[in-house]
Every structure is written in C-alpha cells, then in structure tokens.
Structure 1
Amino acid sequence: MTEISVRVLDEEHWSDYKDVRLRALTESPEAFVASVEEEKEYPESRWRDRMNRSRRLLAERDGAVVGVASIGQERYVEEGVAELFGLWVAPEQRGAGVARRLMEAAAQQARKDEMKHIVYWVGTDNGRAVAFASSFGFRPTDSRRPMRIRGVDTDEDAEETAMVLPLGSSGGTPTNL
C-alpha cells in the first residue's frame, strides 16, 4: 500500500472539506451530532467560517480522500486545551493506519498551536474507538456527557467519555472537563 498523507486545509479548500464531511455524514450518521440533510444546505460562507474556527485535516492515499479529522480550541475548558472531533475514515480504509496518521497530524498541529492537552470524546460503548485512542496515549477521565446525534435513533442512555492526551511534559488532566 502507498503512504497516507495528511494535509491541513485552509479556507480556500472549504469545498474539499465539505465533500468529505458530507460523505462521512452519509456513511456514518450515528457517529456525528449533525445530519447530512442539515449540512448539505449550508451556504459557502458557513463552510468558509468553519474552516477558520478549527483546523481541518484531510487524509489522502493515491490522490483519493480516505479520512478527515478536526482539531480546535476546546471552548468549555481552560486555555491550552484542544478538542479532536469529526474523525472519520472511509470504510475500505479502516484498519489500514489512516486514523493513526490523522491522530499523529492532529497532535503535531496541537503542539504547533501551543496546546497542552487534546480532549477526544468517545462513545462509552464504542470499545474499538476507546481501545484505539488508548493505544495512542489518550487516557479516560470521569467526565461523561449524553450522546447527541440528530436524525438517528439511539439509546437514550448513550453517553460519551472524555479521553485526554497530554502533550509534551504537561501531564495531568484539564480541570474543567
């Protein structure tokens, strides 16, 4: 297999992000808060605004988009905490290292942006995602929140847990999770 490359998109690449985001929402609606029906109606200005709020990472292999993730400042926690969200890998690429490359690129970008921690919210019943995040160095916390997924019937008791990756020598866990 060829190498996986990851690039950080800028505002001018909003349509690349839109394409993969709508693909992800269509293929894995249960994994996202938003719905494809809602987001496909967004105007260009909203997509451009999203590009400026968070870093959008695009994974490619052989010129084809195979995954996406976003990393941005966690606004509910103390300064210096980034949140990883919107991670998606094309089904035919799962288990082939795409998610790991996206995580590596996200951690590298967070360090570059002088973040001290990355928070990644994972469904408590998603053992595969918890194991993957743990293998990368994320550690579970006691922080939980209800799962919020629009347009998909879910268990009303479904919840997510915050997993934290300390960057550099910061150690510890953010205090306001």
Structure 2
Amino acid sequence: MSEITVRALTEDEWEIYRTLRLEALQDAPEAFVADHADEADQPEDFWRARMRRSVRLVGEADGEYVGVASIGDATESESEDGGQLFGLWVNPTWRGAGVAASLVSQSAKIAEDQGFARLFYWVGSDNGRAVAFASSFGFRPTDQRRPMRVVGESGPEEEIALVLALGEDRAS
C-alpha cells in the first residue's frame, strides 16, 4: 500500500493546483460549478489569485499528485466561525485508496488551526455515497439546503450542508 501525504500548496505551486483542477473538471464536470473550457485558458494571475483566496491541499502518493481539496471561509448563512471544505477530488485510479480520507482529515486539522469551530461540506442531497463518506468523519447533516449550482440531467438538484464540529466542540 502506498503512503499518502497531504500538504498545503504555496502560491508558487499554482501550476500543480491548475493541473489537478482541470483534471477534476474533465473527470466530473457535474460536481463543479466551473467549466473546463473556461478555466483552461485562464492566465497565471487568475490561478495565483485563486491560491491566495483559500488553502489548496494536494494529496501525493508514489511521486504523483493524486487528489486535491480546498478550505475557505464559510458563508455567513452557514456560520461566522466556520470554514468550508470544497473542491474535493481524487484521481479515479486512486479512489478507494484513502486519498479522500487523508485530504478530509488534513482539511479538518487546518481548519481547526485557523480557528474555525466548524467545517462545512456541501454535497448533493441524493448522493448517498458522499453523505456516508462525510458521516464517517463525523460530519452531520444540517437543515441548510440550496439548489445545486449546476443543473443535472433531471433538472435542478439540491445540496445539503454537512457540518463537522472542530476542537473542543467535537464532543457536543
């Protein structure tokens, strides 16, 4: 079994993030708000600005970049003291190998280190696999729902906010 490491990317590593982000948009366009064609032509300044907006994590194994996740501020409707996990993606050949688990675990540590009391993660309300995966880390469903920002084949779908208590709040 390969050792999986997760680390935060620096702004100067924007090309790593860009590569993974574009792979994610090609692999699972329905999971992301953006379009591959729109982002593929963006200049370096666009990617550097994106790196400064949120913490970008990369999962590495066997000398390859195999996954990505981001941590940013939660919206006011979620929580004033919360962070948000988003943009989680794992290379299909590495799914089931613990990459996503490593990315989520490290995301929670970083969010807690940044002083967040909670970490939010939005998933499709009918995506049982994602809900079960997040629940295995202690994420719990909230009452918050929103229309998905991408429209599925059967029309607009809904997302649910899952929340993970961080730090001392984990016991509550």
TM-score, structure 2 length as denominator?
A: 0.94
Letter in 1 for 2:11: E
Shift of 1:59: 0.2
Q: What residue number does 1:4 align with?
A: 4
Question: Whole-Å Cα distance in 1 between the matches of residues 145 and 154 of structure 2?
Answer: 15
Q: What residue number does 2:68 align with?
A: 68
Give the secondary structure class of the aligned counterpart of 1:169.
helix
Give the secondary structure class of the aligned counterpart of 2:169.
coil
| Structure 2 counterparts to residues 140-155 of structure 1, below 5 A | 140-149=141-150, 153-155=152-154
Deviations 1:127-166, CA, capped at 9 Å, x for gaps: 10000000110000111101112xx653323110000000
Q: What residue number does 1:136 align with?
A: 137
Question: Whole-Å Cα distance in 1 between the matches of residues 142 and 163 of structure 2?
Answer: 7
CA-atom RMSD in angstroms? 1.6
Question: Whole-Å Cα distance in 1 between the matches of residues 122 and 79 of structure 2?
Answer: 16
TM-score, structure 1 length as denominator?
A: 0.92
The count of corresponding residues between Structure 1 and Structure 2 is 171
Letter in 2 for 1:42: Q
Question: Whole-Å Cα distance in 2 between the matches of residues 10 and 79 of structure 1?
Answer: 26
Shift of 1:78: 3.5
Letter in 2 for 1:95: G
Q: What residue number does 2:99 align with?
A: 98
User: Structure 2 regions of 5+ residues with no counterpart?
Assistant: none
Shift of 1:3: 0.6
Higher RCO (Cα < 8 Å, 6 or more apart): 1
